Structure 1
Amino acid sequence: MLKRTNAIRNGLLLFAILGLYFLLLDALGWADNLFLRLGNYVFIFLMVNNTLKSAVKNGENYLSKLAVGIVTVFIAMTLGAISLFIYLQVLEPDLERYISPVIAANSYSGLCVALFIQSLASSMILVFILSQLYKNKKPSEMK
């Protein structure tokens, strides 16, 4: 099921895209811009949509579609949190630069855990919404 829908590949690709996106924002000094930080949902939407389209083409049932969408975002968010922790440990930037009023943390690991939980929860909501969109689609309806 995971191989046929490219869930793992899409999760890894989503991780790479989001990593490059946030590195670019950080390099340009725009990492604290809320609207640009919310732009990552466009990438999540596109990759989960791609995964679910593949699942529909393969004739997967609703729960399988939901599962492959969750696997896709779980891979990306887990690798993202681990990479962020490594990035923070190596470069040791000022923690205040990354903490917002929404995310309160007093250490790099606390920040990474908080961001992991926040990103996973919001991505799961997006997966559920997209799964509802593809709930009754048939393989013949997909391009």
Structure 2
Amino acid sequence: MKIPKELINGFIIFLGIGAFFLVINGLGLAGNYLLRFFNITFIFYGTLRTLRYNLREGNNSLPSNAASAILTSFSGVILSVIGLIIYISIQGGDAYIESLSRNFLFGGTPSVIRYAFSLLLEGFVSAGLVSFLLILYWETKYKSDKHGAKK
């Protein structure tokens, strides 16, 4: 059974985000919400790998490449949030969340589920934007654009 490239690259996104989180957590910087913006670089990397692989295979269809990019980035985000839920549960659950960033989507003390859901929404927005931007950039690489209007 061959694992789809979208899931492989989604797993690469998960590994990148997970390693980055562990490094900033180890450095005591997990509470700095600005560092979460760097997570998007891992989503860019994994999604770009999928699109490059598709083009190398000769897949020049814009809709199928868009679906492939979205599946890659969303699978990376979902795996990352699942990994974070597991990590938070191991670290003490709701008590551990209090030690994380207080400048998140809501005030007070969020539960594990609220925190994970908020990260999932944030991740889906980032993944959607990355997929859209990369598809717009790579759109000129597709075969359909090489047969444009005659001059």
Structure 1: runs of 5 or more not aligned: none
Describe the shift of the 1:34–1:101 C-alpha distance in structure 2 as closer, same or farther (beyond 3 A).
closer
| In the alignment, structure 1 residue 57 sits paired with structure 2 residue 60 | no
Counterpart-to-counterpart distance in 2, 1:57 and 1:137: 11
C-alpha distance in 2 between matches for 1:35 and 1:9: 28
Q: Counterparts of 1:29 and 1:74 in 2: how far apart (Å)? A: 28
- The structure that has the greater radius of gyration is 2
Q: Give aligned pairs, total.
A: 136
**In structure 2, C-alpha distance between the alignment counterparts of 1:99 and 1:20, rounded to whole Å:** 18
- Structure-2 change in CA distance of 1:138 and 1:63 (3 Å): closer
Any conservation in 2 of the 1:57–1:138 contact (CA below 8 Å)? Answer: no
Q: Following TM superposition, by how much is the alpha carbon of 1:58 offset from its aligned partner in structure 2, in angstroms?
A: 2.3
> Which TM-score applies when normalising by structure 1?
0.85
Aligned to 2:85: 85
Paired amino acid for 1:83:
G
Report the equivalent of 1:103: 105
Please report the TM-score for the alignment, with normalisation by the length of structure 2: 0.80
CA distance in structure 1 between the aligned counterparts of 2:110 and 2:100, rounded to whole angstroms: 11
Runs of 5+ unmatched residues, structure 2: 144-151
- RMSD over equivalenced CA pairs, Å: 1.9
Matched residues, percent identical? 26
Q: Is the 8 A contact 1:59 1:138 kept in 2?
A: no
Distance 2:90 2:114 in 1: 16
| Residue 32 of structure 1: how far off its partner (Å) | 2.2
